Structure 1
């Protein structure tokens, strides 16, 4: 209330000066009529500028930021420059975020981001396939409510991530063997990386079978001898 009154003081002083000058040259009635007109015009300009500022604050955009008078024009100009700079910064961050998401989606490995409550914040499409989850449905759900394998639940809730954990019979057909490891980062969040080691495990099993068969074949002649 006081600040509004203080803003009126220059207007009233200008009107008084104009009234006195007008009274000297134009007579009492016309001089003070001009003074009253100055007050009305000044209040109207202030009202219009205040209304435009209110429209901007409610989110109508910077196209409404223009005003009458040097002081209001300077205020609007500075606001417009600040807003334009902020919008450019936001657009830059959004482009970087989009590139990161595209890179994560292109990864052959599953990626899941968990918050400090083990809730799913984000995952890529490969992780959805590996863990049989749906991001839109399961976002902000605790991951061990969805993936209920005891070894996985113990791994996630135990907060000991020095070594990875292997989950067998995973995926839609229970045919995948997955290697998972969690990496803590900002504010107790975790980044869970998931690798499909099905083919590698099969190759390792074939190697072990081959070595076992060769060893058996080598031992048989020696036994006979």
Structure 2
């Protein structure tokens, strides 16, 4: 009886070692073959791994579609934290606002767009109306800021220079 229990413990310990090796060292997608009670466990882990891989691929494609859509917008788009830390901007934001992506990732937008009106607009947090801003380059911008997700802001800047030239 003691020999059977000892053998069973050794067998389980061996399977635990194989599982640990597969999870932390071996980079293959296929788990080690399992027997007995280990077979459904290893199969379940393998299925979960395949589902996670598929989900990561789907999320990656969703992010690509979002970025592609944001790049095709006729406005500059910047995503920031509530404190103003930039974590994404589209190509038009680089063009119009002079941002550099990915170099400006994490930089505070107030350190990059140094206009007192803009600083005041962000600090008062009254985004019910857009901010009309004239850049040093002579461009006229209409800037709208809105809450995006938890503790994040979406900033949309539209070049309205042509409207000011006509008037």
TM-score, normalization: structure 1? Answer: 0.67
Q: Which runs of 4+ in 1 moved over 6 A?
A: none
Q: Distance in 2 between matches of 1:118 and 1:75?
A: 47
The equivalent residue for 2:60 is 94
Q: Distance in 2 between matches of 1:59 and 1:166?
A: 57
What is the deviation of 1:191?
Answer: 0.3
- 194 and 120 in structure 1: CA distance in 2 versus 1, 3 angstrom threshold: same
2:36 maps to 1:70 = yes
Which one of the candidate residues 11, 14, 17 is aligned to 1:51?
Answer: 17
Q: Deviations over 1:162-219 (max 9, x none)?
A: 111111135xxx0321110101132231100010111121112xxxxxxxxxxxxxxx
- Structure exhibiting the larger radius of gyration computed from Cα positions: 1
Question: Secondary structure of 1:136's match?
Answer: coil
Matched, 1:84 2:50: yes
Match of 1:127 in 2: 93
Structure 2 portions without partners, runs of 5+: none
Q: Note the residue ranges of structure 1 that are not aligned, 5 or more in a row.
A: 1-8, 16-38, 205-225
Task: Quote the offset at 1:155 in angstroms.
Answer: 0.5
Give the direction of change, closer, same or farther, for the CA distance of 1:58–1:94 in structure 2 (3 Å limit): same
Match of 2:133 in 1: 167
Relative CO higher for 1 or 2, CA cutoff 8 Å, sep ≥ 6? 2
Change (3 A) 1:188 1:68: closer
CA contact (8 A) 2:19 2:32 kept: no
CA contact (8 A) 1:109 1:196 kept: yes
Distance 1:177 1:139 in 2: 25
- Aligned residue runs from structure 1 range 1-225, under 5 A: 12-13=3-4, 39=7, 43=10, 45-46=11-12, 48-58=14-24, 60-170=26-136, 174-204=137-167
Q: What is the CA RMSD across the aligned residues, in angstroms? A: 2.3
Q: Cα distance, 1:145 vs. partner? A: 0.9
CA spacing shift, 1:42–1:68, aligned 2, 3 Å: farther
